[in-house]
Structure 1
Amino acid sequence: MLSHERIWRAIDRLAEAHDLTPSGLAKRAGLDSTTFNKSKRFASDGRARWPSTESLSKIIEATGASLREFTNLVDGAGGNYTQSITSADAGLAEPSRPYHMTLRDVPVVGMAQAGGGGFFDDAGFPAGQGWDQVQLPGADADNNTYALEITGDSMLPLYREGDVVIVSPTASVRKGDRVVAKTIDGEVMAKILKRKTPTSIELSSINSDYEDRSFAITDIEWMARILWASQ
């Protein structure tokens, strides 16, 4: 049964699985750091407050979990990535069943490397061998997914210098998505897709100190969608 206690416990367990506090999980998902604080879970008159579906969607995306994996946590699964859920844990009269979150190694590329020649092909895929590796949780990403280490502060406070974002050159990109784009001049930037037309692309920054950027479509060598971030 879905209950107020179980949904908040699942959020806490998802945070723990990624070595985060509830506040850290909120920040990783681009939410206010107090979103999941204990004080937010009940109103001043004692009424239960529930997290929004939007905030749940964002933390699932930010951690690379699937909806099934999160609902397993709601049902009572604990631990990090591999867990047996018993009928007692889930409160169900069912046999034990395995709970498993897949881990996969993906290459890690620095933004300076991404801007240099010879490190990527024309479609935005890392070229060659010998890259550092990072483990990607979740089984939903395609085989072309890779990791990019952030430099600069144009996406503060969402992404900081040294954060690693997981990107997919093959994922569809829509208005409002977080993206990494490379220009034909070799500039690589993490931005938000503000607008895309057949002839132009507009990108915006989270950090208000940075102005929006506009490019002719022919000036963008490739653009990849950010799936989630690992701080």
Structure 2
Amino acid sequence: MIRHQKIWAALDQIAKDHGLTPSGLARLAQLDPTTFNRSKRTTTQGKARWPSTESISKVLAVTDVSFREFSELVDGNGAGRIPVIGFAQAGNQGFFDDAGYPVGGSWEDITFPALHDPTAYGLRISGDSMAPVFRNGDLIIVSPASNIRPHDRVVVKTVDGEVLAKELIRRGALGVELKSFNPDFEDRFIPADQIDWVARVLWCSQ
């Protein structure tokens, strides 16, 4: 049985995955900013109010979430195990394959709420070079399989083993243009032939 709370919880998870509030998700989908507010989830008589199929469709379209993935979020597949390593380790050989997927037996496994990307993994942030967005000790969840758009938060690994977490400004045939979160660190352009892989950041624990 599909429950009212699970539909809203799935929309909240999509918003969280994209670093948005429910209002921010509504704006992204070109809906009234109050569409997904908690006050709109019940009527003044206390009856459950469901999001419209049109609003859900618009959210799925702008976030590149398939209906199957949305259904999995609604069903709630429970917690799972994801591999995690320290951010500094990510530049070492042996942790990723050529496509940027985690490999090898040196990863730590942690229990994490169900994700709609079975390839996702975690990186532990060290240092403050990515503050204030990502701080020392934060866990970021990275998805190598997700589509990447301008202004997404991404992790980039170069062929020389450098690993960066920044905002993607532009990605083209010549390379990627990246904006630093910390104003004390310069923005970067990485030529295409120097890029090992680029993956999208889905979520950050703070």
Partner of 2:47: 91
Structure 2 counterpart SS, 1:53: helix
Q: Tell me the SS of whatever aligns to 1:196.
A: strand
**Aligned equivalents of 1:139 and 1:57: distance in 2?**
23
CA distance in 1, matches of 2:142, 2:80: 14
1:150 aligns with 2:125: yes
Q: Does 1:54 align with 2:37?
A: no
Partner Cα distance (1:169, 1:30) in 2: 17
Give, in angstroms, the shift of residue 206 of structure 1.
Answer: 1.4
TM-score (norm 2): 0.65
Supply the RMSD in Å over aligned alpha carbons: 3.5
- Within the alignment, does 1:119 sit opposite 2:95 as a pair? yes
For structure 1, the 5+ residue unaligned runs are: 1-9, 15-25, 32-50, 59-67, 76-89, 93-97
**Deviation, structure 1 residue 153:** 2.0
- Identity across the alignment (%): 42
Pair 1:173-2:143 in alignment: no
> How far apart are residue 230 of structure 1 and its match?
1.5
Matching of residue 206 in structure 1 with residue 181 in structure 2? yes
Give the distance between the partners of 1:198 and 1:181, measured in 2 at CA.
16
8 Å Cα contact 2:76-2:114 kept in structure 1 = no
Alignment partners' CA distance in 1, 2:115 and 2:143: 13
Do 1:192 and 1:203's aligned partners in 2 also have CA atoms closer than 8 Å? yes
Contact 1:30 1:158 in 2 (8 A): no
Residue of structure 2 in register with 1:63 after alignment: none
Q: Using the TM superposition, give the Cα deviation of residue 167 of structure 1 relative to its aligned residue in structure 2, in angstroms.
A: 0.5
Larger Rg: 1
Residue 201 of structure 1 aligns to which amino acid in structure 2? Answer: V
Once the two structures are TM-superposed, the CA of residue 127 in structure 1 deviates from its matched residue by 1.0
Q: AA paired with 2:47?
A: G
Displacement of 1:113 in angstroms is: 1.7
Cα separation, 1, equivalents of 2:173 and 2:150: 14
Which one of the candidate residues 196, 199, 202 is aligned to 1:221? 196
Unaligned runs of 5+ in 2: 1-7, 29-35, 49-73
